[in-house]
Structure 1
Amino acid sequence: MGEPRRAATDRRWCEKVTVAFRNTGGTAVRSGTVTFATHIIGALGIDWATIESTASLPAPIAAGAKKEKTWTVCVDDWRVPLGMHIETRDVSVRWK
């Protein structure tokens, strides 16, 4: 799994997150989940909370193949008052 690449949207409580997945194993990955840890950052840079969300892995991923997918990751709008923003800093994957 590569590092997440983030891009802003027109809503401060959402961002686009792109992640590349590479299957280095000898068999296809048939399913799995991706977990996003989205941090809510205050105007002074204080990390107020981390909200997790999950999505399905872009499967199947053939042995030796690479796939990239972009998700729009959002938290509840009330969690991000004016002057605050989100950053999806951590992404983990569970392969099946």
Structure 2
Amino acid sequence: MKYMIFAALSMTAMYASAGENVNVAQQNLPDEHYHYSQHLDIAKVVKDSVDDPTAQGVVSAHLVYLDSKGVEHNLAYLIQGETISNG
């Protein structure tokens, strides 16, 4: 009887810890790099961020989005940073 209770608790703990590992893996998605004329299937934007929003010149930016199938993607792309006017 003690063995069955121990086995049931062990299995429950194993499944609980396996679920936590999946969530961590989903949060650390590898970056997909954007290429000009690439078709993007964006159904919902989850997060949009810029590495340094006050930098001048070309700056790295990231977009986390869900496609039409509900799959999460992390897109890395370049944007033009702030410019300084002479005058």
TM-score bracket, shorter-length normalisation: under 0.3
Indicate the structure with greater strand content: 1
TM-score, normalising length from structure 1? 0.24
TM-score, normalising length from structure 2? 0.26
Q: Radius of gyration: which is bigger?
A: 2
| Higher-RCO chain (CA-CA 8 Å, sequence separation at least 6) | 1
